[in-house]
Structure 1
C-alpha cells in the first residue's frame, strides 16, 4: 500500500513540474484584441493612473474590451503599466474614447532599471468618432519593464479604451525595370489586410498611389513610366484601413538601357504591324518592335483592370515624320474598339 502511494505521489509531482515548465515557456504576449495590432500586456501587469473618474478605472485599459475605457476625469493625465517580466516591443497601440470628437496628444516612456525614459516623440492624433483606433505609436525598439503614457485630451477629459504592444515586421521592397514598366516585389506582413504602393519622381515625395487589395499580395507592375526619369517607390501595409508598416524606398531609372535600339529604316525582324481600330471606325497602323507592342498590350490590360494612365503614347519613329524631332500618337483607352497584331 505504501509503495502504491509513493508511486502515485511521484507521478503527481512529475505532472506538476511538467505543467509549471510548460506554463513558464509560454510567450508573455499572446492575447489579441479585435481591431488592434499587437497583444494585450501579460497577466500580472500592474496598472496605475494619475486619477480615475467614477467606474472608468485604470485597469479597463488592459481588460481586452473596447468601449470600456479609463477616464482621467481631467484634461491631462498619466497611466502606468508595469509588467511581471520585461518585454521587447517597438510600438504601442492606443484605442481612444473621444466625446466631443477632437485631437489628443500622447508621449510614451519606457521603464528600465527603475528609470523612466521617453521612447516616443509627442504625437497628436486627430480623432474622427466616439471610439477610435488610430495608427500605432512607434517607440524606440527595446526591452522594457513597463510603460507610462502621458496624455492630453485637448478640449475634453482624457480617456483610453485599450492598450496593446507589439513589434512591427519589416517590409523589404525590391524592384526592377523592363522597358517602361516597373515591377515591385515585397514580403507580406502578418495581419495586413492590403497594401498601398506609392511613388513619385522625388525621394520621399510620392505623388501617385495605388491600392493593392488582398493580404497575400506581394507584387505589382506600374507601366508607362517616362524615359529619362528616376522614380522612387515605397510600399505601406494596411491594417483595416490604418497605415502601419512602411518599407524601404526603391529608386528605379527609366533609360535607354531598358529599351530597344532605335528602329532602322528597314525592318530587322522581331517586329509587328499594330493596327488599332478606334470607336469611330478609324484605323491607326504602326510598324513597331515586339517590345513596343508588348508594352502597349501591358498598358491596355492594366488599364482594363482598373489602374494605369488613360492614354498611351506610340512613337511613330521615322513613319510620317515631318520637320520634327519626333512624333507620337496618343491612344485614349476608352476610344479603342479593337487592335490587331501581325508579327513578321
Structure 2
C-alpha cells in the first residue's frame, strides 16, 4: 500500500498499523512529558504498549526526519483511560516552515489502546511532522506513529441484465473490501462485504433495469476502512434479442410466407401445406443456471420441473416465496445416497437458460 518514495526511507512496520515507522535518525520532541517513562521517543519505538503521555489534556509532538519523506497519510495509535474522543491536526515541515496538511480530525476511542483509521494529509515531501492533539477529558497520549502513501482503487463498472459487473485493482495490504451502492450519487443505501481476492468481475445481482446505480469500493485493513475508490454509475439493461433473418425477406427480419399450393422451392417437393419454421416443444429441458460468482450449474429436468423452478423464481422476484429452491439431480445422483438435491439461493442467481428437447 506504499509507494517507493516512502519505502526507500523507512522499512520498519508496526503490527496492526499501516505504513512504516519513521526512519532511523528521526528526532522527536514534545510540548511536555508526564514523566521520563512516558517520553516522546515512546511514540516511535515500534511498541504500541509504550505510550508518550503529555501529562495534560492538550499538547503536541514533533518529528524531524534525517531526509524529506513523501507520504499522504499518518497513522496514530492512541492511548486514553477512560476511552474518550481525541482530536488531531497535523502539520508538515516544508522549507523550514510548518504548514497545516490535515483537517482537524476527531476519533472516538473504543478502548484504552485504539488504532483508528489513518489520517489523510496533503501529499508531499516533508522534513518532519508536528501533531497537535486534544485528549478531551483524558490526558493526551500517543503510543505509536507511522506514515505512508495509499495506493488508489480504479473502479470500473459494466451494465448487465438486472445486474452490474464491477472490476477494480488489487490493494496489496487489504484484508477485504466493501462495496457501497445506491441510486443517488455519494449516498449509498446498500453495502456488501467481499473477500480480498474478489476484485475481478464481481457481479451485483437483483438490480432494476433502466435505473442508474452508483458504486464505490472501500479497501479494509484489519477492520479499518482505508482506501476509497472513485464512484462509477451503471444502468442495468435487458439484453436485446434480434429476430433471425430469412433468405426470402432479409430486410425486415420477418419469416417468409409459405409457398402457395403447387409451387415449390428448388429441390423441395411441394406438399401444398405451409412450412412451420419452429420445432415442436419437447417434454424435457436442460436448465443452465449462472450464479453471481460466474459458476454455471446444469440440470436435465422434465418440463414440469423447469416450470416449477421458473414459478418459484418469479414469485420470489415479486416478493413472496422461500429464499431457496431445491432441484433434484435425478440420474446425476452419485454415491450411496437415496437422493441428492441442489439448493439454489435466489440472491445468488444471475441468469438461467432453458433448452427444450424431446426424449
- 1:172-199: per-residue Cα shift (whole Å, max 9, x none)? 0111122112111111112111111111
1:338 is matched with: 327
Structure 1 unaligned residues grouped into runs of 5+: 1-25, 276-286, 303-310, 316-327
Q: Return the alpha-carbon distance in structure 1 between the equivalents of residues 72 and 57 of structure 2.
A: 27
Residue matched to 1:189: 171
- Maintained 8 Å contact 1:274/1:342: no
Alignment of 1:27-42 (within 5 A): 27-42=8-23
Quote the Cα distance in structure 2 between the aligned partners of 1:312 and 1:110: 62
Q: 1:342 to 1:236 in 2, by over 3 A?
A: closer
**Do the aligned partners of 2:161 and 2:209 also contact (CA within 8 Å) in 1?**
no
Q: How far, CA to CA, are the matches of 1:29 and 1:68 in structure 2?
A: 21
Q: Alpha carbons of 1:218 and 1:102: their partners in 2 closer, same or farther (altered >3 Å)?
A: farther
Inter-CA distance 335–166: structure 2 relative to 1 (3 Å threshold)? closer
TM-score when scaled to structure 1?
Answer: 0.73
Q: Is the counterpart of residue 48 in structure 1 residue 29 in structure 2? A: yes
Gaps of 5+ in 2: 1-6, 244-254, 256-275, 296-310, 330-352
Q: CA deviation at 1:314?
A: 3.3
1:65: how far off? 0.6
* Deviation per residue, 1:127-163 (Å, 9 max, x gap): 0001100000000000001000000001110000000
What are the within-5 Å matches in structure 2 for residues 127-142 of structure 1? Answer: 127-142=109-124
Partner of residue 163, structure 1: 145
More helix as a share of residues: 1
Contact 1:180 1:224 in 2 (8 A): yes
Instruction: Tell me if structure 1 keeps the 8 A contact 2:167–2:202.
Output: yes
Q: Is the 8 A contact 1:179 1:259 kept in 2?
A: no
Q: Which position in structure 1 is the counterpart of 2:98?
A: 116
Q: Quick one: which of 72, 78, 82 aligns to 1:90?
A: 72
Q: Report the structure number with the largest CA radius of gyration.
A: 2
* Paired residues, number: 279
Counterpart of 1:245 in structure 2 is 227
1:154 alignment partner in structure 2: 136
- Counterpart of 1:332 in 2: which secondary structure? coil
SS in 1 for 2:42: helix
* 1:298 equivalent in alignment to 2:291: yes
Question: Is the CA contact 1:110–1:147 (under 8 Å) kept in the aligned structure 2?
Answer: yes
Check conservation: 2:202, 2:293, Cα contact below 8 A. Answer: no
CA distance in 2, matches of 1:268, 1:28: 74
RMSD of aligned residue pairs (Cα, Å): 3.3
Compute the TM-score of the two structures, normalised by the length of structure 2: 0.70
